[in-house]
Amino acid sequence: MIAQTPQPPYYAVIFTNELSAHTEGYEEMAHRMTELALQQKGCLGYESVRNGLGITISYWETLDDIHHWKSNAEHMVAQQQGRDIWYKHYKTRICKVERDYGYEHP
């Protein structure tokens, strides 16, 4: 589902990853992190897809909101498990969205 974001500016955190061979518990944790992120101040929504390569984009009101999410205690546990167990590698990018537009079929 495409996230319903407000008029820019806002921020996007793009998390791209490739899983290791050890994925036990990953799906459950990913689901929990989605639920938890959506409860955080400033979270505007997310989009996620996995087809070999995983890409999750979360949208935030401010850089401070992103910082608070990154330092959330439960999220920090998930980050450590990702580094220790689930990910072969990952990349996080933080971007300021200055313009957005779209189309919806009537």
Mean pLDDT of 38-55: 96
Confidence at residue 75, expressed as pLDDT on a 0 to 100 scale: 98
Domain contains 24: yes
* φ, ψ at 103 (rounded to 5°): -145, 140
Amino acid identity, residue 54? G
Q: Give me the number of domains the chain comprises.
A: 1
> What gap in Å lies between CA 34 and CA 1, rounded to an integer?
13
Confidence at residue 6, expressed as pLDDT on a 0 to 100 scale: 97
Domain contains 38: yes
Mean pLDDT of 23-38: 96
> What gap in Å lies between CA 38 and CA 44, rounded to an integer?
7
Q: What kind and span of H or E run contains 40?
A: none
Domain contains 67: no
46 and 1 Cβ atoms separated by less than 8 Å: no
Domain contains 66: no
Confidence at residue 42, expressed as pLDDT on a 0 to 100 scale: 98
Domain contains 13: no
How far is residue 23 CA from its own chain's centroid? 18
Domain contains 71: no
Using alpha carbons, select from 65, 47, 60, 69 the residue that is nearest to residue 10: 60
> What gap in Å lies between CA 52 and CA 89, rounded to an integer?
13
Confidence at residue 9, expressed as pLDDT on a 0 to 100 scale: 98
Domain contains 35: yes
Domain housing 81: 20-43+76-88
Model pTM? 0.93
> What gap in Å lies between CA 37 and CA 45, rounded to an integer?
8
Mean pLDDT of 49-61: 96
Confidence at residue 78, expressed as pLDDT on a 0 to 100 scale: 97
Mean pLDDT of 67-83: 97
Domain contains 95: no
